[in-house]
Structure 1
């Protein structure tokens, strides 16, 4: 009973002396753990060699099959965020952070069992379903609470909340590689042991966030801050729109499309980041004397995670000055241009240029996540922005299916076509990635157009008498 009382929202209200800057470490403790999902690609190749150990053997899972766990995890992230958004608002961050920890880490343990038994459905059910639900619960709880702690700087607040998620692979990828090396034997790749160990480690860190989490009192506001509005900026509403009404507006669906297209482009690359750089710069290709090693590829994934993290805070904070619509023009327009330059970097045999372009792209990809809650706040007000954000994350669920599958299936298609044409496998793989980059650029151009169409929400959608906060 004491534990349940400790988790109740009314017992997490901060006292008068509590500093709002104490909450970001709690949010980061959760987001840095669940952000490990961005580093799943380091497991792709080892998971495809569970039987063969050194190379894929008959009966091993295909690389396309192993990517499915990534798809399912992010699909259930969006679904759980949409379904439980109201419960998260009512229950507060402490209870939902604990629920996130239980689901996320149990996903690791069930996945470890699935890998040990070589059962793909158990593996997907573990990390993909249980872990995905933990991702969704952990993702939206700190976001909503940080926006309440920082009403004066909403873009910075959402950047603080979400940058940890983007940086999770920076720690998770090298940790996974180190653990797999530690556990590897002549008869085991060390993958299932690594999943079990990481589950225990992450649960301990997420408990820190549970203990530290606090919510502001209902009448709290930053010292010396007075809410102000700029009548000349019609892109920031002074009214409110409910979650149920928001989904009836064109603005909601334009923002949904923007997020979906931006995520489809970025997540497709992230899901294959480690094998992609190894295959584009394989040994002997384009005169390269030495290919990219698995350790170097893990470093590439970690570097992308670092820029993903930095971009979430930097660009989102900048949006408080530029406005959300203008900053998304940069994300989508510059991103499309950079995607078209990637094949040039690959064909030139320049890993440095290849990595640099992807670092900039991933910084803006991550920023799209951290800026979207503030964009929703500008459009629909603060009344039910947490619930609206949860529903918008179904765009992420959609992208989680489309993006990785697009990259994986194009890869398999070009390898098959290349073999028929008598091409080497490395050339076929490179062609697949080149085509994928042009497709990703096209998606961002469509997103750019959607962003141009975003206008202020019509008065007819705004509430006249402000309703009570949402409850389940």
Structure 2
């Protein structure tokens, strides 16, 4: 095997540029690759708070009027609501922050994925930290001065750009370090993104209670504190990134056999996105996320409206419940939502690891087939009144939603090679942005339409679930149509040089080594990310237990 490495050939650059330069983070022989996953988790656990940001919607809607929000006049225009300080924000207006998160996540990942391949993950993650934490800082200012436009700009736009850059920077890095375990590697990083809400949401709630006083409910102080905590964690993760030498592979016969099985041609990003395989995988991700994100956003009201009094062992319909009973089932539904978040995390690691054994195409086939069966069965479960079976079905469904996110990067590496997978993955994430709009719109509008037709709340989701079942069947067909990329799409020598950016080949590189144990650093790194994640899981399980009591 030809021995190659990356060495710089450009003129001297500034000290700051030198610190972030790609050659500076090329690992030395003996580096332990298991130090990279906790660095990736540190970043993803922080940006994953985007999933849990809804914990702020209700307090943000009560900044002026308190527990009885001061409603804006009916004749107040949209533009006036963006700058007004005389009335409270509507939750529907605040919800656009969530939409902006994922729109700008996909757009920034697509626009700057190629930049990641050129400059390396450290600089990209550094910029992601500045954007995400800076966006949160601007959000705190926006809340303090009650300016909705600044909240959208800070958290939604700038923070969303940070999400995109922070999301893709560790994934391609881990795929290079674990060519023998691509699915597991992607799952480890993306598991952190799903777990961000488990840690961030209860922490945000605790901080609001800590800072709340007679003058306010502690929202801006909570977000400001989170921005500082996240900056510390993300910088530690950023500076922990290392890249293997170009062509590196792990030692050991078992690992090298796995690498040989995963060997594929290398395709340049400018060619990859023009192939049928790219757009089939785009549809695979879009269809899986559209179905999952739509249900995830409506899981709590769906549980409450379908089972209503059955959640309290009462034979009462939704319309027959009193205020106290509604509050009690809302608490139960909160535990259900937390349980789904936990399965979202577990599914990311589980299904991605399964794909290492079964193959990416087979794993997605299972996800779509099993998903279609479960989605199609839920209406029958609902009408039969089996609450526990409903909860179990949804936990599996959401695990496959998360599993799709974690498996797709390894799928891309199998099809297009790992050399430019970061840039290709970035462009594919536009499917997530599209699904972030299509999923909630589909589920919400179908629900509202059926309610307007006089259909009982417990039956309004039947047609929705059938439509989502159809989407999964289409996803199964798209996945089955994926074929290996033709050799004609392989990189030319000129494209290979372009993909290497500023680097040339060094024939004296060491392309495999026995890793040093690094016990102390390894233990400290995993404890730093493990304790917050376990704490978040514990809080979620404590809430979920109430659901089954």
TM-score, with normalisation over the residues of structure 2? 0.76
1:250 maps to what in 2?
276
Q: Secondary structure at the match of 2:96?
A: helix
Q: Secondary structure at the match of 1:455?
A: coil
Distance 1:115 1:350 in 2: 43
Alignment partner for residue 379 of structure 1, among 415, 430, 439?
415
Distance 1:81 1:147 in 2: 17
Structure 2 segments unaligned to the other structure (5+ residues): 1-13, 73-87, 310-315, 503-549
- Provide the aligned C-alpha RMSD in A: 3.0
The answer to whether the aligner puts 1:41 opposite 2:54 as a matched pair is yes
The answer to whether the aligner puts 1:438 opposite 2:462 as a matched pair is no
1:159–1:371 Cα contact (<8 Å) kept: yes
2:513 maps to what in 1?
none
Q: How many residues align?
A: 461
Alignment partner for residue 75 of structure 1, among 103, 106, 127?
103
Structure 1 segments unaligned to the other structure (5+ residues): none
Report which of the two structures shows the higher radius of gyration computed on alpha carbons. Answer: 2
Deviations 1:57-82 (A, max 9, x none): 52244443332211111111111111
- How do 1:49-68 and structure 2 match up within 5 A? 49-54=62-67, 57-59=70-72, 60-68=88-96
**Shift of residue 456 of structure 1?**
2.3
1:82–1:387 Cα contact (<8 Å) kept: yes
Distance 1:412 1:188 in 2: 35
Distance 1:468 1:117 in 2: 51
Alignment partner for residue 394 of structure 1, among 430, 434, 450?
430
Distance 2:112 2:492 in 1: 26
Distance 1:291 1:437, change over 3 A: farther
Deviations 1:140-199 (A, max 9, x none): 111011011111111111112211111111112222333333344577454333322222
- How do 1:14-25 and structure 2 match up within 5 A? 14-25=27-38
2:264–2:415 Cα contact (<8 Å) kept: no
**Which stretch shows the higher mean deviation, 46-55 or 22-31?**
46-55
Q: Secondary structure at the match of 1:109?
A: helix
**Which stretch shows the higher mean deviation, 168-177 or 264-273?**
264-273
TM-score, with normalisation over the residues of structure 1? 0.87
**Shift of residue 438 of structure 1?**
3.2
- How do 1:45-444 and structure 2 match up within 5 A? 45-54=58-67, 57-59=70-72, 60-184=88-212, 188-225=216-253, 227=256, 238-273=264-299, 277=303, 285=317, 289=325, 291-292=327-328, 296-344=332-380, 351-413=387-449, 417=452, 421=454, 428=457, 430-444=458-472
1:64–1:408 Cα contact (<8 Å) kept: no
**Shift of residue 200 of structure 1?**
1.8
Distance 1:126 1:436, change over 3 A: farther
**Shift of residue 251 of structure 1?**
1.0
Distance 2:110 2:196 in 1: 22
1:278–1:291 Cα contact (<8 Å) kept: no
Distance 1:140 1:453, change over 3 A: same
Q: Secondary structure at the match of 1:312?
A: helix
Distance 2:228 2:390 in 1: 36
Distance 1:108 1:281, change over 3 A: farther
1:79–1:394 Cα contact (<8 Å) kept: yes
**Shift of residue 451 of structure 1?**
1.1
1:53–1:187 Cα contact (<8 Å) kept: no
**Shift of residue 411 of structure 1?**
5.0
Distance 1:237 1:13 in 2: 22
Distance 1:125 1:351, change over 3 A: farther
Q: Secondary structure at the match of 1:248?
A: coil
Distance 1:174 1:457 in 2: 45
Distance 2:178 2:145 in 1: 47
**Shift of residue 122 of structure 1?**
2.0
Q: Secondary structure at the match of 2:497?
A: coil
1:39–1:173 Cα contact (<8 Å) kept: yes
Distance 1:102 1:224 in 2: 40
Distance 1:452 1:14, change over 3 A: same
Distance 1:279 1:119, change over 3 A: farther
2:288–2:401 Cα contact (<8 Å) kept: yes
**Shift of residue 256 of structure 1?**
0.3
